[in-house]
Chain A
Amino acid sequence: MINLLLFPIIIPFFFAIVLLFFKEQVRIQRILTVIGLSASIVAAFSLIMKVKQDGIQTLTLGSWPAPFGITMVSDMFSALLVTSTLVITLFVAIYSFSSIGEERERFFYYPAILFMITGVNGAFTTGDIFNMFVFFEVLLIASYLLIVLGGEKRQLRESIKYILVNVISSAFFVITIAYLYSIVGTLNMADIGQKIADIGQPGIVSVIGVLLLLVFGIKAGIFPLYFWMPGSYAAPPVPILALFGALLTKVGVYAITRTYTLFFVNDLAFTHTILMVLALLTIVAGCIGALAYFDLKQIIIYNILIAIGVILFGVSLMNEAGMQGAVFYLIHDMLIKGALFLIIGIMIHVTGTSNLREMGGLIKTHAPLGWLFLIAAFGLAGIPPLSGFVGKLLIVQGGFEHGQLFGTIVILLSSLIVLLSVIRIFIYAFWGEPVALQPTNRKTYKHMMFPTVILVALSVLYGVGTEWIFPYVSDAAHVLLDPSSYINAVLKE
């Protein structure tokens, strides 16, 4: 019993409510947002320390004993994700000060971000499957506001699609929970895991596994279900795109990882083979998209798909190296995708277009931006000692240990395509003949560079400091691979 694990959920929620009262005072909104997020980050870091020291932390709301009340559970995996979510949000919020425009700021932009973070952190922390649905809805409703905020013609068109897809996926989520409840008669995730292990996962449970993959796959954007993502994510302004790309897809990945390591572990040959095949197809689809477009946003959005494929491939292996790699790569990808979206936001701000063909020679006028992009691009592709390398190395190691030669080679080849796709941006935008630029405010540019530089620096540190971070990642992977430790922490207090 510890309340600490609620703080990263409650603090953003509280500040979001307070912000609603300062609709017109943009300056107060900005200050409160930074204070709220910083306070949550402090709470999240102390949560990591607590989990590292004392193992999995649980809290049952209202002090109902475990399988009956709603349980909140913080293991290392969820604590790490909560922390990186908050860190990225803080820098995206600072970046928004100079780029999102006062019009949007006055229409509840910051409260929407904070409500979304409440939902994201809640979904990471909850130990109750229906409560997870509720937190999904919290973050979705906030994201509906964010995606349509501004009301441009294109935004309206894409929002409709985004919302319809998510409403249908939510209905599927409810249906799946109904199936699950009719079979195991409980909603507590630890209890579900135990009951499924007791009845030995008959066929119907595997059907539920596939249904859950469908529900979470729509959110994460895995292979046949990613169709809505490139269009919808490209519609809102870049800071919102950065939040969606870095956080929302990862909630889906988290949910898949959690259910596929806690519930459906008795018929790996069926469920995890499906997961592996879909992960590989996601990588292939992402590679094709990343090379096909000349639009900055589209290229990076398709890179999200590749990363999701790589992470889920690591999860589907279900061995130690693969799982450690997946956890490490998941956090790496949150940081680096956040950073990359912020960088292309600056490029779009400077050039006034997101079309690569209309860019060129930026290295002459904006050299630091060029080098920053190159570092982030190398980090994304996984060139040692940057952060993408270690995660991918572990996933590849896990793949070979599992005997999955073909899949592992696909992962390795995808790294080359990732490198090619981002270097293509570098060549087109930074090399070549300089094109005439619209005069832009140099001060805005500097203000946008500040959070971006820090985020890239964090991702570099994450790669260079692997030795120091690795014990945490290995703790997280250990709990994922050993569901009984999660179940015991929740049910036997």
Chain B
Amino acid sequence: MELLMAIVAGILFTAAIYLILSRSLIKVILGTGLLSHGAHLFILTMGGLGGSAPPVLIDGVTEFADPLPQALILTAIVISFGVTAFILVLAYRTYAVHKTDDLNSMKGNDEHD
């Protein structure tokens, strides 16, 4: 099961990198979303999936799920949710001001020589 999850995370990373390397701003942002999904899945997998029993409630359970990675993911998901919302708004403003969402036409240092 861990192996399968690792492969899924790997596929998510692949898709994320493909999207991040594209020129369209909105695709890059979708890519960062997938990247953080991959990272969250990865953290769950690396903690070991364990068993299905709850960890603390019953005595003498050995095959329990590790609660810590779940707590970590919850925190990380909230953070990436907030950042993604912010960056989407920013992308819209940038598009409105620059009249383009092509990252190629946003490069360069105009003022200094």
Interface string of A151-178 (1 = CB under 8 A from B): 1011011011101100110110011011
Q: Nearest A residue to B105 by beta-carbon distance?
A: A157
A168 / chain B contacts, CB cutoff of 8 Å: 20, 32, 35
Let me know if B93 and A151 touch, CB within 8 A. yes
Interface string of A26-67 (1 = CB under 8 A from B): 000000000000000000000000000000000000000000
- Given contacts A153-B97, A156-B93, A171-B36, is CB(A177)–CB(B111) below 8 Å? no
Contact of B87 among A130, A163, A181 (CB under 8 A): A163
Binding site for A on B (CB under 8 A): 20, 25, 28-29, 32, 35-36, 38-40, 42-43, 45-48, 68-69, 72, 75-76, 79-80, 82-83, 86-87, 90-91, 93-94, 97-98, 106, 109-113
A107 located at the interface, meaning its Cβ lies under 8 Å from any Cβ of chain B in the complex: no
Q: Nearest A residue to B106 by beta-carbon distance?
A: A157
Least Cβ distance of B11 to chain A in Å?
15
Let me know if B75 and A130 touch, CB within 8 A. yes
Let me know if A181 and B46 touch, CB within 8 A. yes
Let me know if A134 and B35 touch, CB within 8 A. no
Determine the main DSSP class of A at the interface with B.
helix
A448 located at the interface, meaning its Cβ lies under 8 Å from any Cβ of chain B in the complex: no
A151 / chain B contacts, CB cutoff of 8 Å: 93, 97
A128 to B97, CA, bound (A): 41
Let me know if A171 and B35 touch, CB within 8 A. yes
Q: Nearest B residue to A166 by beta-carbon distance?
A: B83
- Given contacts A134-B75, A141-B82, A148-B90, is CB(A160)–CB(B106) below 8 Å? yes
Least Cβ distance of A138 to chain B in Å?
9
A181 to B72, CA, bound (A): 11
A-B contact count (CB 8 A): 112
Determine the main DSSP class of B at the interface with A.
helix
A434 located at the interface, meaning its Cβ lies under 8 Å from any Cβ of chain B in the complex: no
A148 / chain B contacts, CB cutoff of 8 Å: 90
Could you say which of B29, B91, B97 has the most chain A C-beta atoms within 10 Å of its C-beta? B97
Let me know if B76 and A174 touch, CB within 8 A. yes
Let me know if B48 and A182 touch, CB within 8 A. yes
Let me know if B72 and A160 touch, CB within 8 A. no
**CB proximity to B under 8 Å, residues A175-201:** 175, 177-179, 181-182, 187
A167 / chain B contacts, CB cutoff of 8 Å: 32, 35-36, 80, 83, 87
Let me know if B90 and A163 touch, CB within 8 A. yes
Let me know if A294 and B112 touch, CB within 8 A. yes
Let me know if A156 and B94 touch, CB within 8 A. yes
A182 to B5, CA, bound (A): 14
Q: Nearest A residue to B37 by beta-carbon distance?
A: A171
A6 to B25, CA, bound (A): 40
Let me know if A134 and B87 touch, CB within 8 A. no
A144 located at the interface, meaning its Cβ lies under 8 Å from any Cβ of chain B in the complex: yes
Let me know if A134 and B79 touch, CB within 8 A. yes
Let me know if B98 and A157 touch, CB within 8 A. yes
21 residue pairs of the A-B complex, CB under 8 angstroms, read A141-B83, A144-B83, A156-B94, A156-B98, A160-B90, A163-B83, A163-B87, A164-B20, A164-B29, A164-B87, A167-B35, A171-B36, A171-B39, A181-B69, A187-B68, A230-B109, A295-B112, A354-B111, A354-B112, A355-B112, A357-B113
A293 located at the interface, meaning its Cβ lies under 8 Å from any Cβ of chain B in the complex: yes
Let me know if A141 and B72 touch, CB within 8 A. no
Let me know if A175 and B42 touch, CB within 8 A. yes
Let me know if B106 and A181 touch, CB within 8 A. no
